[in-house]
Amino acid sequence: MKQKRFVAFGSLLVVIAIVVAACNGGDATPVVQTVIVQATPEPVSNRLDVVQDRGRLICAGRTDLAGFGFLDSAGINRGFDIDLCRAIAAAIFGDGNALEVVPITASERGPTIQAGEVDVLSRNVTWTSTRDSQWGNYTTIMFYDGQGFMVPKRLGFDSALDLDGTTVCVTSGTTTELNLADFFRQHNLDLETVVFEDTASVYGAYEAGRCDATTSDKSQLAAIRSGFSDPDAHVILPETISKEPLTPVVAHGDDGWFDLVKTVMWVLINAEELGVTQANVEQQRGSDNIVIRRMLGVEGEFGQSDLGLKATFAVDVIKAVGNYGEIYDRYMGPNGESFTLPRQQNELWTNGGLVYAPPLR
Amino acid sequence: MTTSPEILKPPVITTGPIGWIRTNLFSTRLNALLTVVVIALLYFLLRPSLTWLFFDAEWAAVTSNLKLFAVGQYPSDEMWRVGVVVLIVSLLAGLSWRVWSGVARTFARAGGVIFVAMAFVPLSLDSLDVEARLWILANPFVIGLGYLLARVINVPPGRLIIAWAAAFVLVLFLLRGSGWMPGLPEVRTTQLGGLMLTILLSVVGIVASFPLGVLLALGRRSSLPAVSMFCTLFIELIRGVPLITLLFMTQIILPLVLPQDTFLDFIVRDRVMRAFVAITVFSAAYMAENVRGGLQAVPLGQIDAAKALGLNGFNVTLYIVLPQALRAVIPAIVGQLITLLKDTSLVAIVALLDIVGIGRSIILGNVEWRGSQREVYLFLAAVFWIFTYSMSYASRRLEEALGVGRR
């Protein structure tokens, strides 16, 4: 009698297992195989093999930050951070759409990359020393941001140091809030904060006049400002009170993959420096500039045996997303899709900015 | 001698709208005063919200993103699959209308009306193009087709339940596709979104948790101490934890503690599947308690009688106890489905793009929609209300039909 009951239990469990397996559909690409098969000869990068075997790059991103990661009305995930992932996908597959973007929350960034669940983390991550040692390898700074203040023009403030005794709207539990407290204490200024849980409420409260100023990363302040009914009634003060170098991250322990991602980022930056754009990349292959010819795989071995990429990977990258400047302008340039933010420190080093990449050779 | 007839005043009207107002709102001086005060108060309280609702609200954030709200990032080339899925449900609804009548009839008819309204909704073709409108408009016809089909051929109610179950599996398969099926390329779980993900999470949650919940409930009443202790521990542990904690645990901790690169990868490496697991486990614990309530409602005498007839323990449970117990808890299960539908909105907090997550992304990710928070959240509230209200209506009707409250 009891045996029969156990049989019934067992068969029910089997049914459940089948249903669960059915939900899974065809996503059963076993990741483990290639790792074993390719054990000899030593692969350039285990991660690269896994990605190539899977047929797409998995990238942790976001869908709720204007300019960096958002959904357009067709449901396509786009933005500055997402285009960096697209560039890596194009380098590997020749197709920028061989990409799956997985939206994650801020608190999941560390665990997700540590567990190797995604290939690249490109979700507005500030590079700090602690995160570098704990989370993974930080590739190349792709966006120099910093915390600033926005105030209504009518209050007549010219500098953050004038903000003594004002009320500031800020999101709770972020480094933004801590930086704000640090800055006011450092300069012996009186401060009253109005704290909100999410960014939307912060800017709603600011626009409604609940506080004299609001603070966030400057790129975000620019985004907020352009969303106001009268953007010119607000100014972003010149002071930058923190350093926020935004950087794509890969997991610890796979140097080949780390090098590959870095190189793709350097291609984007060097392409702008060399004047190679989405529109002229095919023409530029016929260029007599030896540096361009080397980057685009017309001559030399760049990126092939050491990174495991095709000779023309840089051509694919630039065809897919354009160079660094084109990505920037697409979302944040003068006619940017999301908002307009002067490049300032995100200019190339040749134009007085900080964006600089090692030579490709 | 004649007396002049007394001239009567016409009687006070007590019927019709004026009569109703007179008897209910102005019957005494105090009532009249109260009526005037309350109307004045309502006017001052509601005027700003109504002015906003009818004159100031900008619905572009909703109307420009209808596809996102409906299906999230589902690939545009594969949208026909969603259309087919809705048609399958409509066909079954039509069949059920004829076979079960009652609440199924109400739903099939209401569904038809809603589809017609949606197909002709006065929005620009940019928001809802002709193709989408035609897909929607096909549904009322398919509902009618199902109804007529069931009139022509005889469909036993039992067969219909099997059809619904088969459709459930078919729908999941169709939506997901697979690498080896020509014409049905795989749609990744991260591409399921919007209202579709909300409904999938709650329906799959309830369906998958049902067998688990029944097993747990039986296990909790088992005479084997190990089984009963395990089931009790599981139920109490899960019920003692808020869903959001479970979601965070499955999202953040599970990938760190479970082995990688095994057959479990489709859960361990897939955020959406992990949410499905969290919701199923959570729902199973509550399901178990619901079912246990039903089990305890079955009189002991029936079990003794069944045993006296020579049924073994397994058959007693299967044929005597469970049918009665489950019948008693159907309304409770529908209630649980309602709760679960609302609870699934928590997945937005772990960055899944259910309908709430989509709403957040639209507001925060696009500068042009940032001012439309109120409109977007009001729209979400309306969608949730329509679904939960219709389910609670169904639950009440089911309760009456099953006579649960009357025994």
In whole angstroms, what is the distance from residue B284 CA to residue B368 CA? 42
| Residue B283: half-sphere exposure toward Cβ, Cα within 13 Å | 31
Interface check for A64 against chain B (CB to CB < 8 A): the answer is yes
Of chain A residues 165-204, which have a CB less than 8 A from chain B? 199-200, 203-204
- pLDDT bucket at A16, cuts 50 / 70 / 90: low
Nearest CB neighbour to A27, from listed B255, B266, B364: B266
The encoded tokens of residue A261 equal 């991602």
* Per-position b or e across B6-31, b if 16+ CB within 10 A of its CB: eeeeeeeeeeeeeeeeeeeeeeeeee
Q: What is the pLDDT of residues A18-37, one digit of tens each?
A: 544 444 444 444 444 444 44
Interface check for A115 against chain B (CB to CB < 8 A): the answer is yes
- What was the pLDDT predicted at B2? 56
pLDDT above 90 (res B80)? yes
The encoded tokens of residue A91 equal 């380098």
Nearest CB neighbour to A66, from listed B270, B350, B367: B367
Chain A residue whose CA is closest to B366: A66
Q: What mean pLDDT value characterizes chain B?
A: 89
Most confident of A222-231, A317-326, B185-194, B261-270: A317-326
- What was the pLDDT predicted at B267? 77
Chain B residue whose CA is closest to A231: B367
Interface check for B249 against chain A (CB to CB < 8 A): the answer is no
Q: What is the pLDDT of residues B265-313, one digit of tens each?
A: 777 788 899 999 999 999 999 999 999 999 998 999 999 999 999 999 8
Asked whether the domain spanning A147-242 has the same topology as the one spanning A46-144+246-351, the reply is: yes
* A12 contact residues in B (CB cutoff 8 A): 211, 215
Interface check for B188 against chain A (CB to CB < 8 A): the answer is yes
Q: What is the pLDDT of residues A183-229, one digit of tens each?
A: 999 999 998 999 987 777 788 889 888 999 999 989 988 888 887 88
* B65 contact residues in A (CB cutoff 8 A): 73
Task: Indicate the length of chain A as a whole number.
Answer: 361
- What was the pLDDT predicted at B262? 75
* B173 contact residues in A (CB cutoff 8 A): 22, 25
Contact between A74 and B67 using a beta-carbon 8 Å cutoff: yes
In this predicted model, which residue has the larger pLDDT, A322 or B270? A322
Contact between B172 and A22 using a beta-carbon 8 Å cutoff: yes
**How many angstroms separate the first and last alpha carbons of chain A?**
76
Interface check for A154 against chain B (CB to CB < 8 A): the answer is no
- What was the pLDDT predicted at A21? 47
Does the pTM of the predicted model rise above 0.80?
yes
Our CA-based measurement puts residue B243 at a distance from the nearest CA of chain A, in whole angstroms, of 17
Contact between B68 and A8 using a beta-carbon 8 Å cutoff: no
* B353 contact residues in A (CB cutoff 8 A): 63, 71, 103
Q: What ipTM describes this predicted complex?
A: 0.83
Our CA-based measurement puts residue A123 at a distance from the nearest CA of chain B, in whole angstroms, of 12
Angle between helices B194-220 and B322-343 (to 10 degrees): 140
In whole angstroms, what is the distance from residue A26 CA to residue B187 CA? 9
Instruction: Please spell the DSSP secondary structure of B98-166, one letter per residue.
Output: HHH-HHHHHHHHHHHHHHHHHHT-S--TTTS-HHHHHHHHHHHHHHHHHHHHHHHS---HHHHHHHHHH
- pLDDT bucket at B4, cuts 50 / 70 / 90: low
Q: Where are the domains of chain B?
A: 78-187, 190-399
* A203 contact residues in B (CB cutoff 8 A): 370
- What was the pLDDT predicted at B7? 80
Q: Where are the domains of chain A?
A: 46-144+246-351, 147-242
Interface check for A134 against chain B (CB to CB < 8 A): the answer is no
Chain B residue whose CA is closest to A100: B190
Nearest CB neighbour to B365, from listed A28, A64, A229: A64
- What was the pLDDT predicted at B379? 96
In whole angstroms, what is the distance from residue B69 CA to residue A109 CA? 26
Interface check for B312 against chain A (CB to CB < 8 A): the answer is yes
Do A323 and A277 contact (CB within 8 A), yes or no? yes
- pLDDT bucket at B154, cuts 50 / 70 / 90: confident
- B190-399 has which fold? MetI-like fold (1.10.3720)
Interface check for A291 against chain B (CB to CB < 8 A): the answer is no
Interface check for B97 against chain A (CB to CB < 8 A): the answer is no
The encoded tokens of residue A167 equal 């009320």
CATH code assigned to A147-242: 3.40.190.10
Interface check for B245 against chain A (CB to CB < 8 A): the answer is no
Interface check for A63 against chain B (CB to CB < 8 A): the answer is yes
pLDDT above 70 (res B1)? no
* B211 contact residues in A (CB cutoff 8 A): 12, 15-16
The encoded tokens of residue B97 equal 């209308």
Strand order in the sheet with A137-138: A99-103, A57-61, A120-121, A249-250, A137-138
Q: What are phi and psi of B383, to 5 degrees?
A: -60, -50
- What was the pLDDT predicted at A274? 96
Chain A residue whose CA is closest to B264: A28
Query: Quick one: what percent of chain A has pLDDT higher than 70?
Result: 88
Contact between B273 and A338 using a beta-carbon 8 Å cutoff: no
CB pairs A-B closer than 8 Å = 160
In this predicted model, which residue has the larger pLDDT, A112 or A272? A272
- What was the pLDDT predicted at B55? 87
Chain A residue whose CA is closest to B73: A75
Of the listed ranges A1-10, A201-210, B188-197, the least confidently predicted one is A1-10
Chain A residue whose CA is closest to B193: A75
Contact between B74 and A100 using a beta-carbon 8 Å cutoff: no
- pLDDT bucket at A39, cuts 50 / 70 / 90: very low
Chain B residue whose CA is closest to A332: B367
Our CA-based measurement puts residue A118 at a distance from the nearest CA of chain B, in whole angstroms, of 9
Contact between B71 and A101 using a beta-carbon 8 Å cutoff: no
CATH code assigned to A46-144+246-351: 3.40.190.10
Our CA-based measurement puts residue B61 at a distance from the nearest CA of chain A, in whole angstroms, of 10
